[in-house]
Amino acid sequence: MTEHAAALAGLDAESADWPQALACTGPRREEALARLHGLLVRIARKEVARRGPRLQITGPELDDLAYQAAADALVAITSKLGQFRGESRFTTWAYKFVMFEVRLEAEDWERLPDRFGFDPAREAEWRDLLVALHRAVDQELTARQRRIFVAIVLNNVPLDALVIELASNRNAIYQTLFDARRKLRAALAADGYIDDDGWRRS
């Protein structure tokens, strides 16, 4: 028996059953996905409510955020099932992804226009561009590039504070952000928002 299998064998019955049910096919998997989704939504709602006062969003948007976080967590969990090593209950491992997704969903992208000085009165001109930028951050950047972009650009974390938080150094963080900026510019160029001469306004 492998170490991984032995660890899973030592689990409580429910935790041992989850990975098997999610890895199989047919009705058993569908039932497990639906049941897990229900659990993740419940945990995401509680977490969103817990963080609510600091999220600066209210009402139906909080519920939307919880559902989106639960859906994204479900995708992460099913794609990383092989990483569950039985070191905790399955649900504890799964709920960790809810915490990560709530954090990502709660990022304050509404600050972005102000961060770059876009005029609110001319939102029609830049709204699509910033949606494309957000999409590029999600799709093009590595997890580390994304984290550094969010910390510095959205959350205004000082570079030296980030150096400590990530146990890194200024040069490494600058280089990571430098690479991220190049990727984002290339993505926006590919979408037709920018060329060598600058922005192409619609």
Partner 1 sequence: MNGWSALDRFLRTDPRDVGCAQAMEMLHIYAELAADGAPVEERYPGVAAHLRACGPCGEDFEGLLAAVRGEAG
Which segment (6-14, 19-27, 44-52, 121-129) binds partner 1 by CB under 8 A? 44-52
User: Residue 46 and residue 70: Cα distance in Å, rounded?
Assistant: 11
Among 4, 35, 50, 200, binds partner 1 (CB under 8 A): 50
Q: Binding-site residue total for partner 1 (CB under 8 A)?
A: 24
Residue 148 makes contact with partner 1 by CB under 8 A: no
Residue 32 makes contact with partner 1 by CB under 8 A: no
Among 67, 100, 118, 174, binds partner 1 (CB under 8 A): 100
Closer by beta carbon to partner 1, 6 or else 190: 6
Residue 109 makes contact with partner 1 by CB under 8 A: no
What minimum distance in Å lies between the beta carbon of 54 and partner 1?
A: 9
What minimum distance in Å lies between the beta carbon of 84 and partner 1?
A: 9
